[in-house]
Amino acid sequence: MADTSLFVAEFTRNSQRVYSYILALVANIDDAEEVYQETSAIAWQKFDAFEPGTNFGAWICRIAYFRAMKLHEKRAGDPLTFDADLLEVIAQTHEMETDLMVVRRKALKICVDTLPEKYRDLLRQRYTGTTVQDIARVSCQTTNAVYKTLYRLHRQLHECISKRLTMGDGP
Amino acid sequence: MSDHVELLELIHAMLEGQLDADAATALKRRLRTDAQARATYIQAVDMKAALRWQFAEDRAPMLTAATDLMIDDCEAEPYAIRLRGRSRTTTSFGWSIAAAMVGLVVGFVTSSLVLGVMMSGNQIRVQPLLTEGFEDVKLPLAKRFPEVHDVWNGTQGLILPSDTAAEGHHVIRFGPTNTRRLSYLNRIVDVSGLEKAGTDEQRELRLTVTVRTSQHVSSPRRYRLRLAAFEEDPAAIKDLWFSGGGLEEKALSFASRAYDVDEPGWSTLDMTLPLPPEARNVVLSISAGSVDSNEPTIAYEADDVKLELITLQPGQSDSVDSPTKMKKKRRAERSENQFDHGGGLSSLTWNSLTLRQQCLLIK
């Protein structure tokens, strides 16, 4: 019988990293959620095979990697899919960037707090499952306008993070 | 527009599913060759992941105390729609975290891995009976239809390493056949030790298999999944299986489902079978062949085989998704190249679980 509390602890500690890793590999927010769910379920099913004391993050990321690869294989021919070589270099880059991610995430929280409330609301809607189409419909905007606003916000946050890290006043 | 800004815009469009084919090809080329572009891509991805996490936490605090997890407000949530093939889901992220954890908490109660989901007052439990990734290269394979439990038999069955396995690093190869048109993969699973169904409980089995051809072929392939429940022992089942006449007559319950597939790569197939209380053994059988009988036979590969027991305990309320309604809904979604015999689509299918995965209630 798998150690439930160990799984909960390890999963909670690594879940954000795993989601980020999956999003990098599948390159689509909606697909990432699906692969994340599958990965979580498989990790629990196979948790008996995990050796306590070893790297749970690496172990579950391996599962995620194969799920992502499976998704790309299913969509072979789609211009948005990644081939095996690209998948591998993306996975490696994600691994290399891991340490920096922790610092950037802390800076991101501060940057989000500096946004006007209406923009924070827009991000909140998008990142709690509301589609761009639904946001556009409710706010009486075109879908394209919402996409552009979201893009500008992301760019602004990206620049804010870089600036904070460059200035050395990061968290 | 600076090169960096343009790159960010392309990455954003890709992650939002808004990139056209030419731009996607150009972006992928750049990611392949430009290390700095890859670093920017990972930063943009991780920022989106972090935002998703941050706002999901605002809405559904993380599972710091799993045993206390209670998600209410389910009925207010939109259903998540999961389609076969290119899937899209609108599941909110906080709930998907919960979905990942649900098995754990129920596990505290039942001491076994069971997924529990409350749907419109109905309690559904999912218990894995078989999870096979063929990772054990020494897995014994029977040369003929198995006469004992828990042994795979495949037409020229062979476990092989594969860099492109659906799961893990190995697959089972079966076929080609010299004597018949179809190649087979069979196994008998012992279900005699399962807890008896409670009053009013409905139980069924769900089989999921991932299959592909072992070589590229341009013609469509036909896969057939079969499940049959028996009261007899495995040796007697073998005699029944090959004794002629319909399995519908010989088994306690029997279902068969065929799929015509013309896309390359892995295909995930599934089916369900009502499980009668008298059942002691269940045969799962996978066959594969060409739709055109004149085509030469080839080998096939299977991976990630799962058999699950799904138990529905009807609750007090059945207002939104009654079994009949769900059956109709799933029938409407059924793709045209699948045809059933026997089990068909049931109100208890796994897909029904994922339709409302955000509405998890853990007791």
Block mean pLDDT (10 aa), chain A, length 171? 76 89 92 87 88 90 93 84 91 90 91 93 87 85 90 94 76 40
Answer yes or no: is pLDDT of B77 > 60.
Answer: no
Contact B167, B133 (CB under 8 A): yes
**Inter-chain CB pairs, A–B, below 8 Å:** 203
Give the closest of B21, B47, B94 to A79, CB-based.
B21
Q: How far apart are the two ends of chain A, measured CA to CA in Å?
A: 41
Which tens digits make up the pLDDT trace of B233-281? 998 998 888 877 778 788 898 888 888 888 788 888 888 898 998 999 9
- Rounded to the nearest 10 degrees, what angle do helices B35-59 and B21-33 cross at? 110
B122 falls in which pLDDT band (50, 70, 90)?
A: low
Answer yes or no: is pLDDT of B120 > 50.
Answer: no
Contact A170, A106 (CB under 8 A): yes
Q: Is A142 an interface residue toward B (CB < 8 Å)?
A: no
Q: Which residue of A has its CA nearest to B25?
A: A79
Contacts of A108 in chain B (CB under 8 A): 47, 50-51, 54
Q: Could you tell me which residues come within 8 angstroms of residue B2 by beta carbon, excluding any fewer than 6 positions away?
A: none
- In angstroms, how far is CA A67 from the centroid of its own chain? 15
By mean pLDDT, which of B78-82, B92-96, B136-140, B203-207 is the weakest? Answer: B78-82
Q: Is B14 an interface residue toward A (CB < 8 Å)?
A: yes
Alpha-carbon distance of B127 to B195, in angstroms, equals: 11
Alpha-carbon distance of B24 to B33, in angstroms, equals: 14
Task: Give the closest residue to B102 by CA, choosing from B55, B63, B58, B53.
Answer: B63
Complex ipTM, two decimals? Answer: 0.93
**Can you give the pTM of this predicted structure?**
0.48
Q: Which of A1-10, A110-119, B73-82, B345-354 has the highest mean pLDDT?
A: A110-119
Which pLDDT score is estimated for B356? 30
Phi and psi angles of residue B181, each rounded to the nearest 5 degrees, phi first: -80, -25
Alpha-carbon distance of B157 to B130, in angstroms, equals: 19
By mean pLDDT, which of B20-24, B53-57, B202-206, B265-269 is the weakest? Answer: B53-57
Tokens representing residue B5 in the block: 């800004």
B123 falls in which pLDDT band (50, 70, 90)?
A: low
Which pLDDT score is estimated for B315? 58
Phi and psi angles of residue B257, each rounded to the nearest 5 degrees, phi first: -145, 130
Within 109-138 of B, beta carbons closer than 8 Å to A belong to 111-113, 128, 131
Which tens digits make up the pLDDT trace of B189-242? 999 988 888 777 888 899 999 999 988 887 888 899 999 999 999 989 988 888
Contacts of A36 in chain B (CB under 8 A): 96, 100
Contacts of B13 in chain A (CB under 8 A): 147, 151
